[in-house]
Structure 1
């Protein structure tokens, strides 16, 4: 039991390093990626015993927003579709003694489709165990310091970040990786006449 608890604690601490705070920065290079369909389903999800309740609709809305927020920034010319299935969750409840410090957890399975190829890129759905980001608010148990909506947003944003990390670990899925996107090239071309004129 002690070993199992220690393993879970280490996993939680490692996952807590995942942060979605980079949304104000330029998105990581994914070649010609452009988000196509953003599909989230939660019909088979399981809720942990000690958890705040959340409906299918709430999880679909929260994850859909987080995926749009992270991947809607890309302006490539090749469509990719992201499918997410919510498998289970535990949203830390309020009113729990500080010594317990329950953590919120989300389990999802993800499939990525290449529209041009007309097929999914990962043969089997990729499973992620998502923990909330470590902060002063979550250190003592997010159920004591955050609303359910804030906890779900935290988990959903971290889920989108983990999906992005997974995609970056598979650069062969994204032709054009490291090259300028059409939007960036067009933007650069648009400013060149002014630059030449200024130099003249």
Structure 2
């Protein structure tokens, strides 16, 4: 089984919510390789609170950075450097959902980006999209670089209100990639996650 890597076209789009839905739907394991900031309320802890199935194992982060910035900046402020050789996919017989940080070209150090992690893990991508002015460009650029790298995209998840014009433009480029739309809500809880499994 290829791991599923949840990434997005921007930061704050909803990767954690989509990760929780996938983990619950598949009864998969969850792993966030790099957590930047908010260590007392990390994405791993958030997904733990949202998931109800007893099968999921939550694997510890490879890097826990104290500052709430891009991983390369957070690491430098913490006096360390992120080394891809130190980030190893957890061994599990279960399906694994991996949550990224920000988008594909978020830097990890002076040479590597989130997309390099995806390639290293031989993962397939779930791309999380939210419609806003500029989101078509961000989505097509993301799909384009994934295509150039030969990284498979299993689905595009539109989080929030749909825009038929934006979706049509994305579908025309995306070809046979599966689409899913999940409505936004002010209150994401276990009931919300279960409704969308």
TM-score bracket, shorter-length normalisation = under 0.3
- TM-score normalised to structure 2 length: 0.27
- TM-score normalised to structure 1 length: 0.26
Q: Indicate the structure with greater helix content.
A: 1
Larger Rg belongs to: 1
